[in-house]
Amino acid sequence: SVQLVSQLLSSSVADKFGRKRFIMVSTVLCAVGQLSFGTYNYLLSRPELEERMKDLSIVSLFCLLLLKFAWGLGLYNVHWYVPLEVLPSKIRTQAMALTSVINCTSNFFVVHYYHDMKASSMGIHGTFWLYGACCTVLALLLGLFVPESKGLSLAEVEDKMSRAIMD
């Protein structure tokens, strides 16, 4: 239900505030949720803090709810609408196929290796710190390379991207 609410919110107001802003907010909040969850679990793994951290178990629930809300806010749909808006129409179909393959492959690796990473010396805290770091890098890349498309037609966005590539 948290994800559903965030997706409904995103779809209803993204055009008003701009998709790039929603993607950036979503990515940063995902990073915060994952880094916070990792930190909570790191502190929980420390014997001297274990009892105190168990009293704060609501923190882990809040972190996961934040992550689920943030993911639904923008990252859930990013592989669908970024290529539609920023890539030239000549390669749009192939790019959509490629982003879908990348998305599915990434999801496979995250799910497949999660338990291995958690069981390794990384632990659950290191696993979520890695995920949070990936979101941080993604936020930087999105901020640098994805243009804002608010108020622009597809042709204007395509023209803007073509000029940026030529420069």
pLDDT tens, 65-113? 999 999 888 887 777 777 777 777 788 888 888 988 998 999 899 999 9
8 Å CB contact between 30 and 46: no
pLDDT of residue 165: 61
- 100-107 long-range CB contacts below 8 Å, 24 or more apart? 103/79
pLDDT mean over 33-42: 95
Residue-wise pLDDT for 5-33, tens only, equals 887 777 777 777 777 888 888 999 999 99
- The pTM for the full model equals 0.84
Residue-wise pLDDT for 107-143, tens only, equals 899 999 999 999 998 999 999 999 999 999 999 998 8
Between CA 114 and CA 11 the distance in angstroms is 30
